[in-house]
Amino acid sequence: MFTVFFLFTDDAKHLIPNKMRDFFCTINLDQEEVFRTQVVEKSLSPYFGEEFYFEIPRTFQWLSFYIYDKSVLQKDLRIGKVSIKKEDLCNYTGKENWFMLQPVDSNSEVQGKVHLELKLNELITDNGSVCQQLVVHIKECHGLPLINGQNCDPYATVSLVGPSRNDQKKTKVKKKTSNPQFNETFYFEVTRSSSYTKKSQFQVEEEDIEKLEVRVDLWNNGNLVQDIFLGEIKVPVKVLRNDSFQAWYLLQPRENGNKSSKTDDLGSLRLNICYTEDCVLPSEYYTSLRNLLLKSSDVQPISASAAYILSEVCRDKYDAVLPLVRLLLHHQKLVPFVAAVAELDLKDTQEANTIFRGNSLATRCVDEMMKIVGKHYLKVTLKPVIDEICESPKPCEIDPIKLKEGDNVEINMENLRYYVDKVFREIVRSSISCPTLMCDVFYSLRHLAAKRFPNDPHVQYSAVSSFVFLRFFAVAVVSPHTFHLRPHHPDAQTSRTLTLISKAIQTLGSWGSLNKTKLSSFKETFMCEFFKTFQEDTFTESVKKFLDDVSSTESKEPSGVSEPVHLKEGEMYKRAQGRTRIGKKNFKKRWFCLTSREFTYHKQQDKEPIFTIPIKNILAVEKLDESSFNKKNMFQVLHGEKPLYIQANNCVEASEWIEALCRVTRCNQKRLSFYHPSAFLNGNWLCCKATAESTEGCARCTADVPADTQIEIDGDRETERIYSLFTINRSKLQKLEEACGSIAVYQGPRKEPDDYSNFTIEDSVATFHTLQQIIDIVEKLNESHEKYQKKRSSSAKYGSEENPIVGKVS
């Protein structure tokens, strides 16, 4: 089971206290913080404007957003929260919603689950009377929250509660763990009335059973301070009868949590959430659909291909483009497909100056490809100059209407010119860093444009510049946080500077835009005056040379060979290597960096690496049991020396690092088949108790599969997403099928154009044939999903029907 989650945090309004404060927002899975926005200073209605995309690697009950009042000297104050149940996320997906902030109450802040076994036994007492005995076996808990950033010291109280009784027992305290193993059994006598007779053997009297319930409360032992409530569950005894019942229960908040608090004066938060959950079956189930999609570029005409039909039936082409581009990229089929749909796009383009300006399937595929492939390219090209603009901003406003009192427009224009020159210079010098795949796509687009408009010598350049300048560099300049060039959204003044620079880059990169006749058509006269200071010939020649370089396939090595590709970086904790176990102080904060060539860590960002592991030397990357160091979100990198133990900041970050490291090392020849899930401490492996440090691992590596299969893991995910889109749009597939049949049979004027006039049908017979294949494949996948769901529902027991535990399918 894979969960994909898109999130856009927008803004809050009318927050308390009623004076200007510095606010930030956190995003939490249950009680685990996974993301944090920038701090918005001196505001009552902060605008965050940040976008987060992440996959959820574990089960969860609540998605929560906490608004904090930032404090310098004291602990940050939680103003309020928005909490959405997992089951309710589908009600808010794909649209903006305002949510009222709720008060933060410790009795409602819960996460985790508890494993219980309950049973009713019949006992004969010493005096010969018969009574019932309730047996409660509390086995374990999983996923309890961190307390002050550390694993908790949990214990449980088990109570039998009724109108006139409250019998309570308590487990032992388990130290420093979020997954305590209790394995303790408690016995409660269920009293009988004097009218009890043998005829009711093995049956609990209704008047007694209706009023009794088992309650389990989880607590964190506070030692010298007050114990902290972690959650509770309640089970009516009447559901047991004389059966043994065993299940996992999700911990719930106290019933009185939040009830007495006022909720109308904390403010509100605007969110735009898109949440999807996909059940990914084993790879062989997707073979037919995957093969049909991958041969799309070979279908004539391209509009009759499965990939093109997908974009036709989806209401928003972006829904189709995301999984489609990723799938084609993984199987090296993207370039021919883009060329085919771009050629179809050009058939409808009548004027050369409007080439690739719309939001067609071709342009969206290229946009998504550049975002995926061009991350490192953007970083090495733009990040230094973007950092300079954001960290040492100079006033650049040249619009007379927006000038502040005391501003000098001539100085501002000089500042803007300085920034524009620097950004432009970095771009036109960057062709050597442009990824090979982008060059291949640009090469195809350039030659298709020249073929479509043979009498226009400039169209081959405008075809490429419309993407690389207008849709890539200019967009990254105006939104550096979206492309990970900056950690947060810039402030208002810097955003305005970046907007002016972006406009300038669009103009300089658009072929022929510096022509004096075109400058006179500018809507903004102040921009027209600004561009008059540029020398047309100099900039035009620089752009021409750059476009020639990035759209050529000659003598260019693959980007992975000429320059290591930057994949991921961030701050985590690593355990000191080669030391004895002294304690928690063994863990130190370090800056980690992963490229296509090596995995390194540094004392600080942009410092020289302290330790380097060549990618070819990595033997395995696996999770590390929490019990090893009593720390959550740990993983290990196995290489030639001692294992490198690393702790990520949260479960999402840990999952992303493991996935990135596994992906880049998937083709290593000496990968391990077995590993140790726990650490080697005090002379033995904690997992298998072997005393030799060189002992072969006791568990099979999760990535111990052939390289080609490992590559297809993401392919299966994207194919499942495409199947879901076909399923959702099944009615449109049928309508398109009817349209093709009508055209093929009548061969005359379309009698009901409204039913299919929005579809592109160049060859009705070929399109009809592909549609039949798609519908047949989707029906078979529907059957496979139904069988899986029946199997899962018949084999699983849920402690709470309202909050079932969702498993993972691999």
Domain 566-577+586-700: give its CATH architecture: Roll (2.30)
CA distance 509 to 500: 14
Which pLDDT score, from 0 to 100, does residue 131 have? 74
Which pLDDT score, from 0 to 100, does residue 139 have? 93
Q: pLDDT averaged over the chain?
A: 81
Task: Specify the pTM.
Answer: 0.69
Which pLDDT score, from 0 to 100, does residue 299 have? 93
In the predicted structure, residue 372 carries a pLDDT above the cut 50: yes
In the predicted structure, residue 435 carries a pLDDT above the cut 90: no
CA distance 462 to 471: 12
Which pLDDT score, from 0 to 100, does residue 334 have? 92
Tell me the average pLDDT across 645-674: 86
Domain 113-193+209-250: give its CATH architecture: Sandwich (2.60)
Two domains, one topology: 2-99+269-276 and 113-193+209-250: yes
Q: Which residue has the higher pLDDT, 121 or 69?
A: 69
Confidence of residue 192 (pLDDT cuts 50, 70, 90): low
Which pLDDT score, from 0 to 100, does residue 807 have? 28
pLDDT tens across 32-57, in order? 888 888 888 888 888 887 888 788 87
Q: Which residue has the higher pLDDT, 463 or 240?
A: 463
β-pair partners for 51: 8
Topology (CATH) of 352-550: GTPase Activation - p120GAP; domain 1 (1.10.506)
pLDDT tens across 727-750, in order? 999 999 988 888 887 775 555 544
Least confident range from 51-65, 78-92, 405-419, 643-657: namely 51-65
Q: How many residues does the chain have?
A: 810
CA distance 193 to 766: 79
pLDDT tens across 634-655, in order? 999 999 878 999 999 998 899 8
In the predicted structure, residue 118 carries a pLDDT above the cut 80: yes
In the predicted structure, residue 206 carries a pLDDT above the cut 50: no
Q: Domain residue spans in the chain?
A: 2-99+269-276, 113-193+209-250, 282-332+714-746+755-809, 352-550, 566-577+586-700
In the predicted structure, residue 703 carries a pLDDT above the cut 90: no
CATH (one of 2.60.40.3880, 2.60.40.150, 2.60.40.10, 3.50.50.60) for 2-99+269-276? 2.60.40.150
Strand ranges, E, within 516-586? 566-575
Say what the alpha-carbon torsion angle 629, 632, 635, 641 is, to the nearest 10 degrees.
-20
Q: Which residues contact 245 (CB under 8 A, 6 or more apart)?
A: 117, 118, 119, 239
In the predicted structure, residue 242 carries a pLDDT above the cut 80: no
Tell me the average pLDDT across 128-151: 82
CA distance 95 to 81: 19
In the predicted structure, residue 537 carries a pLDDT above the cut 90: no
Q: Which residues contact 448 (CB under 8 A, 6 or more apart)?
A: 339, 342, 343, 346, 463
